[in-house]
Amino acid sequence: MSGRVVLVTGGASGIGRGVAAAFAAAGDRVVIADRDAEAAARAAKELDALAVTVDITDPASVAAGVAQVAETAGPVEVLINNAGLVAGGGPLVSLPMEVFDTVVAVNLRGTFTVTQAVAGQMIERGTRGRIVNISSIGSRQPTAGLGHYEATKAAVDALTRTSALELAGYGIRVNGVAPGPVHTPMTAGLMENPEARAAWESRIPLGKIATTDDIAPLVVFLASAQADHITGAVIQVDGGQLLT
């Protein structure tokens, strides 16, 4: 690879960190954008990457972060919209509205805000960029208690398609990767509970929960020249769970 500037939101932990490591290993210049400044700095040090503190729910923070990256590393050529959270769970009739508002603010509004800022800059500078949005198979297969989260990921899939359509004329490609369950700090609590873990595993034909190494290669591929005729696709990495 050519040492492109790759911005990974939520790159300080879990899938984002795994994706950041994969781009760094391929020779790209990785920028970890995370609201957790300490964790971002730690990950950046380990991966020989740059860190920028950004809260994707705050457009001013996103604008400042994108400007800072352009100054220090150069304009973003690859954007990985990965930052996201579940924020809680429960039946929709009793889910606290703060939980709903939090997931919408981060997963949907945050993804929209970062896309707007980075794609705007790509258009301005004539960068034929690549964007990969991290969705979830929950956008297509329901799990009781996760409706608020899954709705945001379905919205991210819709945004992936619309932005792919709108940005194609500028040579910018936009795709999505939809993981099934993955071992990360987000799911650590669940995975430590043997019953909960077995219940999740039983839904996966290939019989195992993914690791971040199962997810990162597709993200790197979709951002590569080999995927130059792929845009608007959302591809699952789920051990076959969507078949069930």
Concatenating the DSSP letter of every residue in 226-241 gives GGTT--S-EEEESTTG
Taking CB under 6 A as the rule, does residue 116 contact ligand NAD? no
Catalytic positions, written as ranges: 149
Taking CB under 6 A as the rule, does residue 35 contact ligand NAD? yes
Binding mask 55-94 for ligand NAD (x = CB under 6 A): xxx------------------------xxxx---------
Taking CB under 6 A as the rule, does residue 13 contact ligand NAD? yes
Shortest distance in whole angstroms from residue 224 CB to ligand NAD: 20
Nearer to ligand NAD, 45 or 125 (CB): 45
Q: Is 201 helix (H, G, I), strand (E, B) or coil?
A: helix
Stretch that binds ligand NAD, among 35-43, 69-77, 162-170, 220-228 (CB under 6 A): 35-43
Binding mask 184-203 for ligand NAD (x = CB under 6 A): xxxx----------------
Shortest distance in whole angstroms from residue 17 CB to ligand NAD: 7
Taking CB under 6 A as the rule, does residue 9 contact ligand NAD? yes
Taking CB under 6 A as the rule, does residue 10 contact ligand NAD? yes
Q: Give the separation between CA 82 and CA 59, rounded to whole angstroms.
A: 16
Taking CB under 6 A as the rule, does residue 133 contact ligand NAD? no
Q: Give the separation between CA 156 and CA 54, rounded to whole angstroms.
A: 20
Dump strand ranges (E) for 57-200.
Answer: 78-81, 130-134, 173-179
Tokens read off for 59:
């457009």
CA-wise closest residue to 59 among 2, 12, 118, 18:
118
Taking CB under 6 A as the rule, does residue 175 contact ligand NAD? no
Tokens read off for 29:
């210049």
CA-wise closest residue to 146 among 95, 73, 215:
95
Dump strand ranges (E) for the chain.
Answer: 5-9, 29-34, 50-53, 78-81, 130-134, 173-179, 234-237
Q: How many residues bind ligand NAD (CB under 6 A)?
A: 30
- Whether the CB-CB separation of 19 and 49 falls below 8 Å is answered with no
Shortest distance in whole angstroms from residue 108 CB to ligand NAD: 11
Shortest distance in whole angstroms from residue 129 CB to ligand NAD: 20
Taking CB under 6 A as the rule, does residue 127 contact ligand NAD? no
Provide φ and ψ at 12, rounded to 5°.
Answer: -80, -10
Provide φ and ψ at 72, rounded to 5°.
Answer: -90, -35
Stretch that binds ligand NAD, among 66-74, 89-97, 116-124, 181-189 (CB under 6 A): 181-189
Q: Applying CB under 6 A, which residues contact ligand NAD? A: 9-10, 12-16, 34-36, 39, 54-57, 82-85, 106, 110, 134, 136, 179, 181-182, 184-187
